Amino acid sequence: MNNLTGTTKEWHSIVADRLLKLETELHHTKTMLERLANIVATNPIKTAGDVREPAFLTIAEQARAYLDLILTPQQKAIVVGTKRDENSSRLRARVICELYKRGVSPNQITIALSKDHNSIYYHLAMAGLVKAKDNKQYSARRASKANKMKKRLSGLEIK
């Protein structure tokens, strides 16, 4: 049996380190389970014509199948459509972030949604999921919002 000596502070440190390790492992396990659930839910094996050998779906095909599961046909039409109003953009951003969090790369999201890669990175940058400094649209939007805020503030000072 181990000798249980040490200060309370040392024991708290040991317990905190072990809890952190367990949380890290739990997060990793949860991520792996979500990926497996996504694969099972999107049925990644299909038959190629009359041939009975399995042909695996690409990640983009799996992403499209996942969207079919979580979105109504109207919502999916909005996400892959070209409307740029606030509601359409918000839905598109939520879907892009959800796919990214589920392990779909930005390039595969562009294929799945038939969108320009800059718009995908823009939505990911706005959500804080990727670095924003390299995204032109994010930088332009940020500058535009800053200018609008300055105009609003200057308008309030005049009145």
The verdict on residue 123 lying in a domain is yes
Residue 121, amino acid:
Y
Domain annotation covers residue 4: no
Instruction: For residue 104, give the nearest of 152, 22, 34 by alpha carbon.
Output: 34
Instruction: Evaluate whether residue 9 is within a structural domain.
Output: no
Residue 158 belongs to some domain of the structure: no
Tens-of-pLDDT digits for all 159 residues of the chain?
455 566 788 888 888 999 999 998 998 888 888 877 766 665 555 555 555 555 677 788 888 888 888 889 999 999 999 888 989 999 999 999 999 998 888 889 999 898 988 889 888 988 888 887 666 777 777 788 888 888 888 876 654
Q: Is the dihedral of CA 33, 34, 36, 37 positive or negative?
A: positive
Same domain assignment for residues 48 and 82: no
Is residue 72, in this structure, part of any structural domain at all? yes
CA distances 159 to 7, 101, 147, 149, Å, are: 64, 46, 19, 16
- Asked, for residue 8, whether it belongs to a domain, the answer is no
Residue 118 structural domain? 66-152
Cα 105 to Cα 102: distance, rounded to the nearest angstrom: 9
Q: Nearest to residue 95, comparing CAs of 117, 127, 118?
A: 127
The pLDDT, as a whole number, for residue 126 is 86
Do residues 87 and 27 both lie within one domain? no
Are 53 and 70 in a shared domain? no
Q: Which pLDDT value is given to residue 52? A: 52
Look-up: residue for tokens 């999921």?
129
- Amino acid 81 reads G
Domain count, the chain: 2
